[in-house]
Structure 1
């Protein structure tokens, strides 16, 4: 019992004691199992931003939002009860909305969406769609009539030269204005089929021409290809990210068609097949995997989805190394909320600062350290917006030094760092406090939380002290 007691004390004491002859210090910050609201990962809102009212019941719309200045100024709750806290908004807009008249674009809609997302603490994922519940613009139909005349989902001729000419112009104009916008996380390739998801007729050479165009116009790390059809096969050759748009489809029975329990569904018959056939199993190491629901969790729950099916789906999210899950922004079933919060916690990256080892005394302005950081999530951080940084404080004297480490290379598993850094200021004799954080490159303010305990009020993680002996 005595040994067990000492072991517990050791785990709880991250600093320990140091003898007067010790040359080095070793610090082991305590891990936290709590949920941290970190950027570019987790559960996304859909066609809305944090604080907006949820879609009712099992309803949602594919028509994107058009936030006005008033929407950005009005007070809203930080998050909405019944949904997971979010740092990502995913919005889709129809061509008819963005270019209602030939050559007259409503880019103000996208500009305001990017602003509104930032104000609400989110980055933005975007898709522009040629058609769906709204047809292609009427002016375009004068050049290239739709192939059908139904109430909705009337496709154009995707192989028509004029479709490439005018749809590629939309993408090019978007890319010029927003391709490098820091708050734009991703942009979907959306060419063929309703909502641009791939269910339609198009020649392979036409699809390749479109994908080549998207890749030429936009930053590659922001481009997302949908998992349907040939676009996934060709797009994956470029190491871009991919999106699955019907995750959670676990239909098992189709009476009179197949033996009970073996009905075709996306989770069994599509995703494992297309990811393997497209050789996309490792694409997550370079670009994000984004998943959204078939229907929504409220629909699953009302239709009696067994909880073990939900658990299976969550295991698949981890297997595919997903960063973001989008469940259509309707209320999540209260019984399942703990499971969705656990999902939000584990999706994407989750960095734990395990150990810090360094010289006990500062040698001039030269500081050498070793650190062990573990990514216990399922994917890396894909955005080059943040740095590992150390803060040195002695009384009113303080400096922040950014490491040269590229945190986008921190794949799931261990990261071991050995680095020398030079302090830009000199400290007086005595102790200097050391804190660590993942900071915004521009502001040098903490932006990404390590999954550790003991943060300061200004969101730095305390490590220990170093001595200045002059």
Structure 2
């Protein structure tokens, strides 16, 4: 009799299990991919000496190096004839940040950071030592200290960087900048810039090792959180009579900070300031400098840990009107940038010609990261304090990872309760190609039973607000992507 009862009980339990299995369907979601240009953090075009909503430069010229000028803002963030951006890039010369010795114009930087945030941007910053024009020389007090400009025998040098006073005062300004702003949430990155017109590094390979290291370490020692981007080549043009072949960047770093491959370089990014230069067939940056020197500099794999940012050589209008580039030439230039894993591009806030806008939009859809959620599964029924088993298959269709430590999260929401569950996914490692993330999450003990909407997003680790637009259809007004409904039941165990 006991045996019959045992089998009867097992049969009843088995039937209950089967019914639960039938009711608890594994929901499989395959979102629809979209081809929209996505405006996402840290990637795409930058504004230059401007913010979102400002008027563009007219013609083929641009301005830089001067104190930040603010246009009248009418509340419209639209960039006419230019992509929307998440980065405002400014270059300001040393003399305008330190008008008096060790008296710094911090309000200028503070206002720029605040304005960028208000316009939906972060601030990318370079403090250049000097430019060619007299009004863009080193600070007046420093010129008075070191005396009239002397012919250094090196193009684009205005002062002697071997003078210990240059290291003391220019390096001291960088130290003060880092101590005040390192890790600021609205500071996207800072250029490592210390010699040559516009801070482009002309002749930097001619510096003595102690001077070179002291100037670079002014950045390394004081910017430990904010991304630094370095120009690994010898500037924007060849030194007279010297073949431009780059300097092995390993020579810059003491104490084993770099192994020569770019993979252990304090996660420095790199930049080029003349992307698209094909002006001369006998010599130009695109075919005679960049491809070879990116490798020789040891920076070819740096994109895995830190961003690559490029700057247009001239402007789009100069490409069209002066160089008379064809669509095929522009497409070639863009393809080279993708090959180098570009994340952001400074087009100098100069209008994009209408005929090239499709090429630009296609480039933007590949620049940096672009996350497509291919498949997402979850159980239709879970219990309080029970497991929520999710699987996800993603594809990064861009050419680089994301460099901000955002989180892949789920939101479970109805009229009574909203809970956000952060996954353990490390999206910094979501490189181009396929990504799989599966995980067991847990329903909180105080979750009311009922039917909920299940949504996903990539969010800030602090505010848990969505930060990254996905290349899939269906985003709601909060920036979350609905996956379907889920029922939460009591845990009767």
TM normalised by structure 1 equals 0.88
1:280-291 pair list within 5 angstroms: 280-291=299-310
Question: Distance in 2 between the 1:147 and 1:372 partners?
Answer: 62
**Per-residue Cα deviation, 1:422-469 (whole angstroms, up to 9, x for no partner):** 233544444321000112222222121111001112221010122233
Work out which of the two has the higher radius of gyration on C-alpha atoms and give 1 or 2: 2
Question: Distance in 2 between the 1:285 and 1:220 partners?
Answer: 17
**Correspondence for 2:432:** 412
Q: Which of these residues, 157, 174, 177, is aligned with residue 174 of structure 1?
A: 177
Q: Which aligned segments of 4 or more residues in structure 1 are displaced greater than 6 angstroms?
A: none
Question: Distance in 1 between the 2:181 and 2:314 partners?
Answer: 30
Q: Which of these residues, 321, 324, 328, is aligned with residue 308 of structure 1?
A: 328
Gaps (5+ residues) in structure 1?
1-18, 254-262
Question: Distance in 1 between the 2:360 and 2:224 partners?
Answer: 31
Give 1:404 shift: 2.3
Contact 2:308 2:342 in 1 (8 A): yes
1:133-212 pair list within 5 angstroms: 133=133, 134-145=136-147, 146-148=149-151, 155-200=158-203, 201-212=206-217
SS of 2:451 mapped into structure 1: strand
**Correspondence for 2:8:** none
RMSD, aligned CA: 2.3
Give yes or no for the alignment of 1:338 onto 2:348.
no
Question: Distance in 2 between the 1:427 and 1:220 partners?
Answer: 38
Give 1:80 shift: 2.3
Give 1:207 shift: 1.4
- Aligned pair count reads 439
CA gap of 1:220–1:282, structure 2 versus 1, over 3 A, is farther
Contact 1:318 1:378 in 2 (8 A): yes
Q: Which of these residues, 284, 293, 297, is aligned with residue 312 of structure 2?
A: 293
CA gap of 1:348–1:181, structure 2 versus 1, over 3 A, is same
SS of 1:168 mapped into structure 2: helix
Q: Which of these residues, 220, 238, 249, is aligned with residue 233 of structure 1?
A: 249
Q: Which of these residues, 217, 222, 226, is aligned with residue 227 of structure 2?
A: 222
Question: Distance in 2 between the 1:24 and 1:342 partners?
Answer: 36
Contact 2:247 2:296 in 1 (8 A): no
Give 1:389 shift: 1.2
Contact 1:46 1:326 in 2 (8 A): yes
Contact 2:47 2:87 in 1 (8 A): yes
Give 1:28 shift: 1.1
Give yes or no for the alignment of 1:57 onto 2:59.
yes
SS of 1:186 mapped into structure 2: strand
Give 1:25 shift: 2.0
1:255-404 pair list within 5 angstroms: 263-303=282-322, 304-365=324-385, 366-384=387-405, 386-404=406-424
Contact 2:31 2:373 in 1 (8 A): yes
SS of 1:467 mapped into structure 2: strand
1:70-109 pair list within 5 angstroms: 74-109=73-108
Contact 1:226 1:232 in 2 (8 A): no
**Correspondence for 2:29:** 27
SS of 1:44 mapped into structure 2: strand
Question: Distance in 2 between the 1:459 and 1:23 partners?
Answer: 27
Moved more, 95-104 or 232-241: 232-241
Give 1:181 shift: 0.4
CA gap of 1:40–1:425, structure 2 versus 1, over 3 A, is farther
Give yes or no for the alignment of 1:119 onto 2:118.
yes
**Correspondence for 2:237:** none
Moved more, 311-320 or 24-33: 24-33
Moved more, 120-129 or 207-216: 207-216
1:420-439 pair list within 5 angstroms: 420-424=440-444, 426-439=446-459
Question: Distance in 2 between the 1:406 and 1:231 partners?
Answer: 34
Gaps (5+ residues) in structure 2?
1-20, 235-245, 253-261
Question: Distance in 1 between the 2:146 and 2:286 partners?
Answer: 37
